[in-house]
């Protein structure tokens, strides 16, 4: 076998596949939660070695090593399918993947050791790889995925990859008569297919990394905007989103509810901070359950929560706060199963420039509720200060 530049130049394709696999492996080491990166790395790496062997060997040697190279091709296709399935929240069925792999290897054995038929090996190997890759399609198209440009392009590119693997031997047979060729790795069509395979894999990796970057940005945005304990909006995110809502939808009537858990320091001092954290988490869950999906629920810090609701008037907002107050008073989330209560301040928000003032009015109403015995809802009209605060509910502790 002569060592020519024409022979070794196609090694760029498996070398690139190997480097892409190593890059994905390095990415997985930094992002262990994204296990699909490990499977995709294995898919690229496992495919690189038999592809290099296919370029360097003549047809006689390919027949000798066809079962081993076929096993690596099947492993690479299986790992790739598993990676895409895991990324979409599914898994490749092991019995089906194992059955396809064994049948493919059996066919390669028969048409290399028992009878040397190059065309049959090409058909069965590519068909097996295509079927293994197709095992990820139910996860990609059968589950609800984020409707983003990257996700749409990624799913359609993967479908193209499956179709290409299955149809590749048919195209080669029709266009170049591979099955009777003695120089398969050196044919012009083979080089064109290598180039197309390289471009397809680079495009697929670009989409994968683009989708991963988009996902990581979303996770970072979520961490920036949410309280880590209750997973509610934090103070900064609340003001940002609330101002957007008030600017873009000024025709609606908006109500601001401030909530403060009563005697929270006693819970921490008596039962420890773990018990206090559990109380805050349970209150956060209840607030989300008793509000609508479009309402804003935030933890401002400590035991203080703030809500922005669409409400027709102050009386309606006060009734919502009363239902939440009653729900909290029925909770038993401390180690002693003692009752947890909260005090509420309610006011209406006139416009974006009224948000800070509305929060001050709601806070004053909460302080008034605390002074008058806690576990109550007090509403404050949009105009006026503490003199205009009036009692909605009273419950002695």
How many distinct structural domains can be found in the chain? 2
The pLDDT of residue 236 is: 93
Phi, psi angle pair for 96, to nearest 5°: -65, -45
Question: Is residue 328 included in any domain, yes or no?
Answer: yes
The pLDDT of residue 392 is: 56
Q: In tens digits, what is the pLDDT along the chain, a chain of 397 residues?
A: 444 555 666 788 888 889 989 989 998 988 888 899 999 999 999 999 998 888 787 777 888 899 999 999 999 999 999 999 999 889 999 999 999 999 999 999 998 888 888 778 888 898 999 999 999 999 988 877 777 788 888 888 999 889 888 887 777 666 545 544 444 555 666 677 777 878 888 888 888 888 888 888 888 888 899 999 999 999 999 999 999 888 887 667 899 999 999 988 888 888 888 888 999 999 999 999 999 988 999 999 889 999 999 988 899 999 999 999 999 988 876 665 678 899 999 999 987 778 899 999 999 999 999 999 999 999 988 654 444 455 555 544 4
The pLDDT of residue 55 is: 79
Q: Say how many CA atoms lie within 13 Å of 186 toward its Cβ.
A: 15
The pLDDT of residue 388 is: 45
- Determine if the pTM surpasses 0.75: no
The pLDDT of residue 2 is: 46
- Encode burial over 266-282: b for 16+ CB neighbours within 10 A, e otherwise: ebbeebeeeebebbbeb
Q: Last residue of some domain: 192, 225, 258?
A: 225
The pLDDT of residue 40 is: 93
Q: Which residues contact 317 (CB under 8 A, 6 or more apart)?
A: 255, 257, 309, 311, 346, 348, 379
Range(s) of the domain holding residue 95: 5-225
Question: Is residue 397 included in any domain, yes or no?
Answer: no
**Same domain for 158 and 199:** yes
**Same domain for 249 and 120:** no
- Encode burial over 34-47: b for 16+ CB neighbours within 10 A, e otherwise: bebbbbbbbbbbbb
**Same domain for 212 and 190:** yes
**Same domain for 248 and 218:** no
**Same domain for 308 and 198:** no
**Same domain for 73 and 105:** yes
DSSP character at residue 263: T
Q: List, as one string, the DSSP characters of 61-110.
A: HHHHTHHHHHHHHHHHHHHHHHHHHHHTT----HHHHHHHHHHHHHHHHI
Measured CA to CA, the distance from residue 244 to residue 222 in angstroms comes to: 17
The pLDDT of residue 293 is: 86
The pLDDT of residue 182 is: 47
**Same domain for 316 and 383:** yes
DSSP character at residue 226: B
The pLDDT of residue 1 is: 41
Question: Is residue 180 included in any domain, yes or no?
Answer: yes
Question: Is residue 33 included in any domain, yes or no?
Answer: yes
Question: Is residue 168 included in any domain, yes or no?
Answer: yes
The pLDDT of residue 187 is: 61
């Amino acid at each position: 076998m002569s060592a020519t530049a024409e022979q070794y130049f196609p090694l760029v394709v498996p070398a690139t596949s190997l480097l892409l696999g190593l890059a994905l492996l390095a990415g997985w080491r930094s992002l262990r939660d994204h296990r699909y990166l490990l499977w995709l790395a294995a898919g690229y790496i496992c495919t690189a070695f038999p592809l290099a062997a296919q370029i360097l060997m003549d047809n006689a040697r390919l027949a000798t090593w066809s079962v081993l190279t076929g096993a690596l091709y099947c492993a690479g296709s299986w790992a790739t399918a598993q990676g895409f399935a895991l990324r979409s929240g599914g898994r490749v069925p092991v019995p089906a993947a194992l059955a396809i792999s064994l049948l493919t290897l059996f066919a390669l054995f028969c048409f290399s050791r028992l009878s040397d038929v190059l065309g049959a090996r090409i058909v069965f190997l590519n068909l097996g790889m295509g079927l293994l890759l197709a095992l990820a399609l139910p996860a990609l198209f059968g589950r609800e995925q984020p409707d983003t440009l990257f996700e749409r392009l990624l799913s359609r590119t993967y479908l193209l990859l499956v179709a290409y693997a299955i149809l590749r031997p048919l195209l080669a047979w029709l266009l170049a008569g591979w099955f009777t060729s003695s120089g398969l790795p050196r044919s012009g069509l083979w080089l064109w297919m290598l180039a197309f395979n390289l471009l397809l894999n680079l495009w697929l990796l670009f989409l994968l990394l683009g989708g991963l970057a988009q996902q990581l940005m979303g996770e970072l945005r979520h961490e920036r905007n949410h309280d880590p304990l209750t997973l509610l909006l934090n103070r900064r995110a609340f003001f940002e989103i609330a101002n957007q809502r008030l600017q873009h939808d000024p025709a609606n009537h908006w109500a601001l509810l401030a909530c403060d858990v009563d005697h929270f320091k006693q819970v921490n001092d008596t039962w420890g901070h773990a018990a206090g954290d559990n109380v805050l988490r349970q209150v956060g869950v209840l607030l989300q359950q008793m509000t609508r999906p479009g309402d804003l629920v935030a933890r401002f810090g400590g035991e203080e929560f703030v809500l922005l609701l669409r409400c027709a008037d102050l009386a309606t907002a006060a009734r919502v706060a009363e239902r939440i107050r009653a729900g909290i008073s029925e909770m038993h989330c401390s180690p002693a199963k003692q009752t947890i209560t909260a005090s509420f301040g309610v006011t209406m928000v006139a416009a974006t420039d009224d948000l800070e003032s509305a929060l001050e009015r709601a806070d004053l109403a909460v302080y008034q509720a605390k002074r008058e015995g806690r576990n109550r809802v007090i509403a404050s009209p949009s105009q006026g200060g503490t003199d205009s605060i009036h009692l909605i509910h009273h419950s002695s502790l």
